[in-house]
Structure 1
Amino acid sequence: MDPLGLKIILVTCLVFVPLERLFALNSEQKVFRPGWANDLIFLLLNGLVVKLGMLAVIVASLFVAARIVPASVQDSVGGLPFWIQIPLIVLLSDLGVYWIHRMFHAVPWLWRFHEIHHSSEELDWLAATRVHPVDQILTRGAPLLVVIALGFSAWSISVCALLFHWQAFLVHSNVRIGFGPLRLLLVSPAFHHWHHSADREARDRNFAGQLSFLDALFGTLHMPQGRMPTAYGLDQPMRQRYAFQMLYPFVGDRARHYLHLPAENEPHPPISPSARAPLTRRPLG
């Protein structure tokens, strides 16, 4: 039994730490960067919570399938060759991820959860784990509910889940790895780094998790050729404490406001009740 997934964590660490040393995008960034301990707690503790949440999604999927999806549809989908099932799952899942992710940026109460993920000011593989469980369960669970209900095979779903797992770490990692012409088809580290950029021009762009052409299709693609972001994060830094960040979406505006750190030697400005969140991303420059 390995409820915390320590073996997977060890393997992931052994893969990405050397990779980031060999192909560093920011060679000055350290392995033990600011906030790494906070993200390590997310990695260790969130896994179990998310697994329980995903188990609930699987049960819900089976319930929906038994009452809504005809058995003939499930049999037809489950009978497709694996080489057809896997790309179909990737496409359906990423369509779901795209729109759910976009909602997390557009709907104020959802942004409160997602803002935690955008509080990382240095990106590496470990930054991928700084996600509130509610954010992660909704973003991953809704597409999973659909593919299970439609009858895709457990083996195909498992392969895709493994692909999604490694892709999430790769696109956050501190690596200068180009995908060449495939960057217009698949989500690359450059694509997702722009999603985390502090630049105003990049805000609310690049929502896809696997297929970058979805952002081109829906008009949200931002990937300047030959350039990478120079800064990441929020308008003002969020306090690097796991407990604070877990509670952040559930407290009032004033409490959320003070869970951000003020700019250097400056008091917090007044709260605007109509703002999407007390603070968003750091302004350009």
Structure 2
Amino acid sequence: MSTTTITTGAPSRPVRAARAVVRHGYAPAMLLGVNGTAVALTAAGVTDGLGKLWLLALLAVAVAASFAAERLLPYEPGWNRSLDDGGRDTAHTLVNETLILVSVAAIPVLAATVSVADLWPHSWPLWAQVLLAVLAADAGITLVHYASHKIGVLWRFHAVHHSVKRFYGLNGLMKHPLHQTAEMTAGVTPLLLVGLPVQVASVLALAVAVQLLLQHSNADYRVGPLRHVLALNEGHRFHHLKWAGIGDVNFGLFTLIWDHALRTYSYDPARRFTSDDLGMAAKPHYPVRYLAQLAEPFRASGACSSAEDHR
């Protein structure tokens, strides 16, 4: 009598444990762990003599965690394979993060130039000041994002971000630098007017990058009912649906509060996404190279002739 060994391919116990950690612990680790470390180091004065190098170090940790989580527990395994877009997305990340760092370094000069009155609550704990900055910036950035789907000239630049055909962490940092500048200006200017401190601005800059990594992550993590409040990947995938009007939902960067107010919130727990759902139906052959994407908004082909062409 012969014996046949059947290989099920089931993951080992350590792998299952690691996936469980990613599913339920990845988002808290990024939101509270990475951002919390930034707050703690800043409050303790550790970052005072390091310039902005500490921001880069924590961002590198966040990017590494993002890639690790996507490989341990991918939502769509195929999205972990490069579509010859890795170099392009790295270029977007480096350029856009450099712009953010330069902006943070310029905060004292900018604040002195545009500040109306120093109304900032300096006596609050640093974590509360950062939370206030996050909520205020979320409003400005979300509203510019919303307008970018309605106004042709803004859409020209925002379309770069919607040209992606796979959903993974670095997608969040894949933006035309002029559009990123518009969003950040809308998010930070009101804060500068009331005396935003550079320490709070530094932590806010990191929080934005961490949020973009989480929001576009290919990791199949869960946050339970908070998915209706926090602007994370479960909801943001709906924003990247390629059809006209269908993807004009879930505009929030940090929260979905404004989407509920604007009635642009959308979520369907039964919906599964593939690369066929992503991109822009009206522009399936959008340029894929970095320099071509920077130039496209200035070309005739980058125009939107109608509202339907926005997606």
Q: So what's the TM-score if we normalise by structure 1?
A: 0.79
Tell me the amino acid that sits aligned with residue 33 of structure 1.
L
- 1:207-242 per-position Cα deviation (integer Å, ceiling 9, x unaligned): 110111221122110111232333111121312111
Tell me the amino acid that sits aligned with residue 184 of structure 2.
R
Partner of 2:22: none
Note if contact 2:161-2:175 (Cα within 8 Å) is conserved in structure 1: yes
Partner of 1:127: 171
Structure 2 residue corresponding to 1:205, chosen from 214, 237, 249: 249
- 1:240-262 per-position Cα deviation (integer Å, ceiling 9, x unaligned): 111111111122x24x37xxxxx
Tell me the amino acid that sits aligned with residue 23 of structure 1.
L
Does residue 148 in structure 1 map to residue 198 in structure 2? no
- Residues in 1 aligned to 2:104 and 2:131: alpha-carbon distance in whole angstroms: 22
Partner of 1:20: 70
- Residues in 2 aligned to 1:82 and 1:9: alpha-carbon distance in whole angstroms: 20
Mapping for residues 48-59 of structure 1, pairs under 5 Å: 48-52=98-102, 59=109
Partner of 1:102: 146
Tell me the amino acid that sits aligned with residue 294 of structure 2.
M
Q: CA RMSD in A?
A: 2.7
The Cα shift of 1:44 comes to 2.8
Structure 1 residue corresponding to 2:289, chosen from 241, 258, 273: 241
Does residue 64 in structure 1 map to residue 114 in structure 2? yes
Note if contact 1:62-1:149 (Cα within 8 Å) is conserved in structure 2: no
Tell me the amino acid that sits aligned with residue 20 of structure 1.
E
Q: Check 1:40–1:159 CA distance in 2 against 1; reply closer, same or farther (3 A cut).
A: closer
- Residues in 2 aligned to 1:183 and 1:175: alpha-carbon distance in whole angstroms: 14
Tell me the amino acid that sits aligned with residue 128 of structure 1.
G
Does residue 275 in structure 1 map to residue 298 in structure 2? no
Partner of 1:38: 88
The Cα shift of 1:2 comes to 8.7
Q: Check 1:124–1:64 CA distance in 2 against 1; reply closer, same or farther (3 A cut).
A: same
Note if contact 1:125-1:172 (Cα within 8 Å) is conserved in structure 2: yes
Note if contact 2:70-2:80 (Cα within 8 Å) is conserved in structure 1: no
Q: Check 1:98–1:21 CA distance in 2 against 1; reply closer, same or farther (3 A cut).
A: same
Give structure 1 stretches of 5+ with no counterpart: 258-272
- Residues in 2 aligned to 1:51 and 1:153: alpha-carbon distance in whole angstroms: 15
The Cα shift of 1:9 comes to 6.1
Tell me the amino acid that sits aligned with residue 291 of structure 2.
A
Tell me the amino acid that sits aligned with residue 168 of structure 1.
L
- Residues in 2 aligned to 1:155 and 1:54: alpha-carbon distance in whole angstroms: 9
Note if contact 1:64-1:149 (Cα within 8 Å) is conserved in structure 2: yes
Partner of 1:89: 133
SS at match of 2:79: coil
- Residues in 2 aligned to 1:248 and 1:54: alpha-carbon distance in whole angstroms: 28
Partner of 1:260: none
- 1:79-135 per-position Cα deviation (integer Å, ceiling 9, x unaligned): 233343232212111111111111111110010000000000111012122101111
Name the larger-Rg structure: 2
- Residues in 2 aligned to 1:175 and 1:199: alpha-carbon distance in whole angstroms: 24
- 1:11-45 per-position Cα deviation (integer Å, ceiling 9, x unaligned): 34421221101121102333423422221222233
SS at match of 1:78: coil
The Cα shift of 1:163 comes to 1.9
Partner of 1:232: 278
Tell me the amino acid that sits aligned with residue 275 of structure 1.
S
Q: So what's the TM-score if we normalise by structure 2?
A: 0.73
- Residues in 1 aligned to 2:258 and 2:181: alpha-carbon distance in whole angstroms: 22
The Cα shift of 1:78 comes to 2.0
Partner of 1:166: 210
- 1:158-209 per-position Cα deviation (integer Å, ceiling 9, x unaligned): 3333222111111111121121011122111111111111255632111110
Give structure 2 stretches of 5+ with no counterpart: 1-50
Equivalenced residue count is 256
- Residues in 1 aligned to 2:162 and 2:209: alpha-carbon distance in whole angstroms: 19
The Cα shift of 1:55 comes to 5.3
- Between 1:149-158 and 1:105-114, the stretch displaced more is 149-158
- Residues in 1 aligned to 2:82 and 2:305: alpha-carbon distance in whole angstroms: 38
- Residues in 2 aligned to 1:154 and 1:142: alpha-carbon distance in whole angstroms: 17
Q: Check 1:158–1:60 CA distance in 2 against 1; reply closer, same or farther (3 A cut).
A: closer
- Residues in 1 aligned to 2:201 and 2:101: alpha-carbon distance in whole angstroms: 15
